[in-house]
Amino acid sequence: MLSGNSAQVEEALFGHKIDLGIVENAGRCKGLHYENVIEDELVLVANTKGKYADIEEVTMEELTKMPIVFRENGSGTLEVIESTFADVGYKIGMFNVIMQLGSTEAIKSFIQNVDAVAIISVIAANKELRDGSLRIIDIQGVDMKRHFAFVMRQGEQGKLIRRFCEFIQRNN
C-alpha cells in the first residue's frame, strides 16, 4: 500500500508499482480508467479558539486576506480548489498562502494550533468537526464538490480488483 497525492498515485500505476488507486483529482490521465466512488465536499475550516472562530461566512475577497494553508502541488485537492477559484475569477497566487503541506492530517494539526484557515475535505475533518476543534466557515457563492475515484490502468481490471471495487461501493 502506498500513500501519496493524485499525481503520485497515477505515476505509481503507470510504473506498475500498484494495480489500483484512489484519487480525488478532477483531471484524468490518458491510459487510466476512473470510476467515481464517493462524493465529497471541500470546506474552509478554522480552529475554534482563534480569531476566526466566530466568523460564519467570508467573501472571496475577504478570503484572499486571510492566512491560508493549501495542499501541495500535484494534489487533487489543490486541483479542485484552483479550478473552483478560477471559475469565480481568482487564482491561487492572489491568496495569502502561508504554507503548503503534503497531507490533510498535517493541515488539520497545523490549523488546530494557529490563527489561519485551510480548505480540506469535510469527510477528512469529520472527527475534528464533531469534537469541536475545527469549524466550517462558508465561502459566499462557492461550492467545492468533488468525487473520489478508483483509478487503474486501462484494460487491466482483474477479477480481484473488480471484486474489491464492488465491495467498497456496496459498503460505502
Which domain CATH number covers 98? 3.40.190.290
SS3 state of residue 46: strand
CA–CA distance, 19 with 161 (Å, rounded to integer): 8
Residue 129 lies in a domain: yes
CA–CA distance, 75 with 149 (Å, rounded to integer): 14
Residue 26 lies in a domain: yes
> CA neighbours within 13 Å on the CB side: how many for 67?
13
Residue 30 lies in a domain: yes
Cβ atoms of 68 and 95 within 8 Å: the answer is yes
Is residue 13 over pLDDT 70?
yes
pLDDT score for 156: 64
- List of residues 6+ apart from 75 with CB closer than 8 A: 5, 6, 7, 25, 102
Domain hosting residue 49, numbered range = 6-170
Cβ atoms of 165 and 20 within 8 Å: the answer is yes
In this prediction, residue 4 has a pLDDT band, given cuts at 50, 70 and 90, of confident
What are 156-166's pLDDT values in tens digits?
Answer: 678 888 898 88
Is residue 25 over pLDDT 80?
no
- List of residues 6+ apart from 94 with CB closer than 8 A: 64
Flag whether the pTM goes above 0.75: yes
Residue 159 lies in a domain: yes
